[in-house]
Amino acid sequence: MILDTSKALELNENYVKVLVRRSVGFENLDKLEEALRDLQKAIEIDSTILENDKKLKRRYEKLELEVKERQEKLKEETMDKLKDVGNSLLGEDLI
């Protein structure tokens, strides 16, 4: 699905329906950032798309939330690892 839709987008990068389909493919592969990016581009091209499709609007809102949560979790994990590296460089546990 991803390959086919990507090929179609090479021919017409503003094909909203194909962007939405590729977004579904990315979501099924748990590539949520890519899925959200495709939906955002579709909305950029057709600003009424969410008004006309309530299911798509719910999916978009869910993706936004999930991507934000993943980014926050990654940020926390990175900060914890940096603290561990800093502590090991100092040669002591500060916490």
77: domain CATH number is: 1.25.40.10
What is the predicted pLDDT for the residue at 91? 76
Within a domain: residue 76?
yes
Work out the percent of the chain whose per-residue pLDDT is above 90. 80
With a cut of 70, say whether residue 5 has pLDDT above it. Answer: yes
Domain limits at 37? 2-90
Q: Does residue 32 contact residue 63 with C-beta atoms inside 8 Å?
A: yes
With a cut of 60, say whether residue 47 has pLDDT above it. Answer: yes
What is the predicted pLDDT for the residue at 55? 95
Task: Tell me how many domains the chain contains.
Answer: 1
Between residues 87 and 64, which one has the greater pLDDT? 64
Within a domain: residue 95?
no
Q: At what angle do helices 32-45 and 16-28 cross, to 10 degrees?
A: 170
SS3 label, residue 88:
helix
The reported pTM is: 0.79
CA terminus-to-terminus distance, the chain: 49
